[in-house]
Amino acid sequence: MLIWKNGILLVVLALLALFASGCSKKYAVLISTNEVVSDDMAYHSEWWYDLFINYQMLRDSGFTDDRILVLYGDGTDFNTLHPEYNAMTQFGHAITDMAVSKANIQAVFNTLSSKVGDNDYLYVWWMGHGGGSGPGSCDLSMSISNTGEHVSDAEFTTYLNAVTKYRKRSVAVMTCHSGGIVDNLDIAGSKTVVLASSTCPQSSYDAATTCNGHFHAEFNYTLPNALRLRNPCGTAIASDGNGNTYVSLAEAHQYNLAAMTTSTPQLGDVDTLAAATEIRKDKP
């Protein structure tokens, strides 16, 4: 709205500020805690392949490159021979921002603490080895394979909680025994949806089959496929339960339950946000 007063053009800043306050941004952190040295190796190549298709899913869902932070291996992309998993071929630029280390993981969330606002959405994805111990829902220890370090579920929760301003957040964890992190994050009022690849007693495995024959961890294959409504080969995925052409995290979890065969995926949704959280371009 423009107003002329005494020959001076005034811009009604209040209206602009109101508009800006209604705009939400999407941020994501992708963490793959190993380094690929060769294509087409089972229980190895998926450290890059899984990262890549999850990055694609976020791009398709309206996340911009500058707000997707990638920690992988030694800090450089894997130079895959498969063009469909090559960042330079698909995006025209590398996607890895920094090496994986305990210090860098903590630093990423400390940095985001000054960027993510009250109306923003934060998506976090972790791929790694994991071990479980302790009574009840168990304690999860997540390995950083390329450094030999370990991050406990309690430590990772502390890192995440450095980002205090957000409208809601989602955390997807693919490790053996990943269900052990659900109790740490499934806290009333935390506005958090947790997706884990297995119960705490279970291990997590590669997918038995994939559309293109490339290796993927099962959870890391079914989840982005469900959210994109298609697999890496472009074949449609029937994950839209209510038929509104978008997939909520609740629908993605239901698809995971039906599609996964080697472990039982877990959902933490104490604030009942999963059904209303659709990772899409116009509605985070």
Is 14 among the domain residues? no
State the pLDDT at residue 112.
98
CATH code for the domain in which residue 158 is found:
3.40.50.1460
Count, residues in the chain = 284
168-199: per-residue pLDDT in tens? 999 999 999 999 999 999 999 999 999 999 99
Can you tell me which residue has the tokens 């109790």?
Answer: 183
- Out of 101-115, 123-137, 210-224, least confident range: 123-137
- Out of 18-32, 89-103, 117-131, 236-250, least confident range: 18-32
Residue 17 has pLDDT above 50, yes or no: no
How deeply is 84 buried, as exposed, middle or buried, from its count of CB atoms within 10 A (0-12, 13-18, 19+)?
A: middle
High-pLDDT (> 90) share of the chain, %: 86
Is 259 among the domain residues? yes
Residue 255 has pLDDT above 90, yes or no: yes
State the pLDDT at residue 135.
74
Which structural domain range is residue 83 located in? 24-276
What's the rounded Cα separation, in Å, for the pair 224 and 53? 7
Residue 20 has pLDDT above 90, yes or no: no
Report yes or no: 113 and 27 within 8 Å, Cβ to Cβ.
no
Residue 78 CB contacts under 8 Å (≥ 6 apart), including other chains: 35, 36, 48, 72
Is 215 among the domain residues? yes
Residue 262 has pLDDT above 60, yes or no: yes
pLDDT band at 7 (very low <50, low <70, confident <90, very high): very low
Is 2 among the domain residues? no
pLDDT band at 22 (very low <50, low <70, confident <90, very high): low
Is 40 among the domain residues? yes
State the pLDDT at residue 281.
66
Interval 240-260 mean pLDDT? 95
Task: Please give the structure tokens belonging to residue 23.
Answer: 């705009």
Is 7 among the domain residues? no
**236-243 CB contacts, 8 Å cutoff, 24+ apart:** none
Report yes or no: 273 and 284 within 8 Å, Cβ to Cβ.
no
State the pLDDT at residue 245.
87
pLDDT band at 283 (very low <50, low <70, confident <90, very high): low
Instruction: Name the residue type at position 88.
Output: M
pTM of this structure: 0.91
Return the CA Rg of the chain. Answer: 20
Is 281 among the domain residues? no
Interval 71-98 mean pLDDT? 97
Is 94 among the domain residues? yes
- How many structural domains is the chain composed of? 1
